[in-house]
Amino acid sequence: MKHKLPLIFLCAVVALVFGIAPSVQAQTAYLTPKQQKRQLKTSLREAKRVETDYSESHLDVDAYNHRKGESGRKLKKGNKRDLMPINEDGTAVTKPKVFTKKNAATRARKS
């Protein structure tokens, strides 16, 4: 009984504090999509005016995608040479050509 009373009191105080405390909205403000778009345009315009030596770093504004619903960072375009499979002897792997159904039908008519 001795140990339960302080625990109950502590739970009541914590519940009271969280129940009374107002919801915290840390540095957020409601903006309409139109206001957000306007702020984005002005910030991008200001960023283009600034002369920097850091075009390859996180300060490069063109490296980010600012469209709604898309990921922020633009993906680096892959080189086709990097994607090409290569055999152990250094020659390129050639895949056998598979005929499409359309071409197979025309070949069957010709022969």
In a domain, 68, yes or no: yes
- Whether the CB-CB separation of 68 and 33 falls below 8 Å is answered with yes
In a domain, 59, yes or no: yes
pLDDT at 25: 61
One-letter amino acid at 58 equals: H
| Range(s) of the domain holding residue 35 | 30-72
Structural tokens at position 8: 């109950």
In a domain, 100, yes or no: no
In the predicted structure, residue 41 carries a pLDDT above the cut 60: yes
pTM of the model: 0.34
Q: In which band, very low, low, confident or very high, does the pLDDT at 96 lie, cut at 50, 70 and 90?
A: low
In a domain, 50, yes or no: yes
Which residue in 56, 27, 62 sits closest to 44, CA to CA? Answer: 62
What are the distances in angstroms from CA 48 to CA 1, 37, 45, 109? 69, 17, 5, 62
Sign, CA dihedral 100-106-110-111, equals positive
pLDDT (tens digit, 9 = 90+) per residue, 8-37? 888 888 887 777 776 666 667 778 889 988
pLDDT (tens digit, 9 = 90+) per residue, 43-84? 888 888 887 766 556 666 666 777 777 777 766 676 666 667
Question: Rounded CA gap, 21 and 19, in Å?
Answer: 6
In the predicted structure, residue 38 carries a pLDDT above the cut 80: yes
Task: Give me the number of domains the chain comprises.
Answer: 1
DSSP 60: -
In a domain, 102, yes or no: no
- Whether the CB-CB separation of 92 and 85 falls below 8 Å is answered with yes
**Beta-ladder partners of 64:** 73
